[in-house]
Every structure is written in C-alpha cells, then in structure tokens.
Chain A
C-alpha cells in the first residue's frame, strides 16, 4: 500500500492533467484553476477516503468534477462562464500554438461549452483525457450504458457544430 507521501506526490504529478480536464469542463482558464485548486485541497484533506487499489486518477477526476458542480451551482455562474464573449480570452492563452491551431481549438472549446453538462463531462473524460468507458463511468458514478449514450450524443452534437458530416 502506497504511503501518504507517495499519494501526495502522485497527486502533485497529476495536476497538469487535472487542469486539462477542468479546462474541458469549465471552458475557462481561471475557473478551471479554481476548481483544480479546490479539488486538490479537498483530496489532500481526505486522503483517508482514497481506497488503495483503486485508481488515483479516477478518484481525483471525480473530485474535480464535483468541485466544478459545486462551484457552478453555488455561484450560479454558468450563464456567465459560458458566454461566447470570453472565447477570445481563452484562445489567446496558448501563445505557442499557431494561429490556425488556436482558431481550431477555439472552435472546439466553444462547441464543448454548448454541450449539456453530462455530455461534456463524458466527452472530456473519454476524448480529452483518454479514459476507457468503464473508468469514465466509474468516475462519474453512472452505469456504462449511460456513459456510452451521453458520449455518443455529445460527439454527435460536436460533429454537427464543428461541421463534421458523416
């Protein structure tokens, strides 16, 4: 069984991925980092609740996701968070990317923000974070069939929004 110190250092190593997941969930840089900060602090306070033998990632991702749900609910700021006007600010963040890549990423971000929450989190876990369906379903606490159906609807909607026809 890993020591608490080992788990702490594993958590620290996962922070960049948690940021990416939170970015996909929130569509917003500052909110994403707020959510990750809250989640990491919660995780460290509740290390005793982590079940050894289960995947640390899945545990952390579910904490991030719950932190986002709390955040969005408590502040009732979804309307603001998902305002299209914020797009430029987010897209401009990645100075290294080429203009074209930024444009494309911006379109994807915008489309993601328009998905219903439950579809967005399924898409974020599987397509952005590379979770297997089973892992994603566990992290979200839903049956795998539910996960698959949300994922399919989310991707279908994204394909429509991003002009990908089949």
Chain B
C-alpha cells in the first residue's frame, strides 16, 4: 500500500481519525520502510522541540516583564517601580557596563547648562544641581518638578539607589549613593511609544534588576531612608 507523506506525518503526530489511523497502522506494521519514515518524523519532532525547549527556563528580560505587567514602552520609571514584583536574576555590580552615550547627554544640555544636572568626575557621572537635590530630598510621591524620582531600593552593596527621570529632557537614569554624592550608573533616553526597540524605562529596570537586594522600598521606608540622609 502506498501512503502519502502527509498522511504518514499525520499518523506519526497522532492527528488521524480512528478509521484512517487503523488503516495506516496496519500498513506501517507490514512495511519496514514505512516504519522508518514514521520514526524519522517522530525523531524530527523531538529534535525540534528539544532545540527550543531551553528558552522556557531562561530568565525573563525586564522589558518583557514590564510589558506583561501592562507597562507601555514609554512608561515612567515610577510606575514600573510601583508594580514590579520579585527580582528574577542576581548578577554582579561589575556586570553592569556603562550604558552612557555622552554625545546625546551633551546634546540635550545636561552638562552644558549653567546649572548642569550631571557632571563628570574621575570615575564617571555624578548627579549635580537640581538632580542631586531631588535625589537627596524628593520622595516618589512628591509632585515632580524638573526631576521625577521613581523607585528607591538598597543595592547588594548596601548603598541606597534611586531611579529618576528628568522631565524636560526625556532622560531617565539610575543613581546610587556614594559618600556624599549620587553616582549615576545608567542613563537612557526616553523614546516615543510605538517603537519596537527597547525604550529607556526597561533599560533602567534591567540595571535595577542587576543590583537590587530584596524589594524596592515602600513609601514609608523611602521616607525613613531620606530622613537618615540615605546612610
């Protein structure tokens, strides 16, 4: 009996109705070549499933968690912080590269205005002026002026860190307390909604994921940390 490859495939996949299945079953049992073809179909299916099964156990990127939590790509960091749940992966401080593109920071005037919000020192970027003051004193629940503060948390190093966005420049970032100043670890430019590429808030959240210890501070803990001078 000649069996079409499509029907043999459907047989191997368990997709035939009872009547056709019985007919093909009988044909396969009587013909070694058909048996080999059925086995080849099943092996191929297993091989394909195995080749992609590892994806299921990979860590979920923060931007996908944010998307699934209903955070649009242009979502404010403060909203991401309020809703985010458990951290998924623990990596080292050192894994966080400087994702700073100095060119566009200059382009948006963050260094060059008379009262810059960012300045450089030997090690990179530190908050200055209005940003430094906001990180020192402003709470996430405060009305945003030039700076909106997002979530605050303790890093694995023990230092306090806070996310922020500069409302006039569409720039957001993550800064951590270092002695008397705030070291800016990551900055990202907000992007318009509707673009496929990763926007800034998820980029910042990725960095938060890498360094956070436990959960973000709630409003009360944030206030207490502020009152203690972030020490």
Contacts and interface: CB of A to CB of B under 8 A. Distances in A.
A152 B9 contact: yes
B126 to A, nearest CB: 32
Interface string B10-45: 100101000000000000000001001100110111
B40 A164 contact: yes
B40 A152 contact: no
A156 B9 CA distance: 10
Given A8-B70, A34-B196, A96-B57, A130 B36 contact: no
Interface stretch (B46-54, B91-99, B163-171, B174-182): B46-54
B196 A127 contact: no
Nearest to A71: B196
Interface in A19-63: 19-20, 23-24, 33-34, 36-38, 40-41, 44
Contacts of B69: 12
Given A16-B55, A41-B73, A152-B6, A127 B15 contact: no
Contact of B58 (A19, A104, A112, A162): A19
B55 A127 contact: no
Chain A, interface size: which category?
A: 35 or more
Contacts of A20: 52-53, 55-56
Given A12-B69, A19-B55, A148 B6 contact: yes
28 contacts: A11-B68, A15-B64, A15-B65, A19-B58, A20-B56, A23-B52, A24-B48, A33-B61, A40-B68, A71-B196, A94-B54, A94-B58, A96-B54, A104-B50, A104-B51, A105-B52, A105-B54, A109-B51, A112-B51, A127-B49, A128-B51, A128-B52, A132-B15, A133-B15, A152-B9, A158-B48, A166-B33, A166-B37
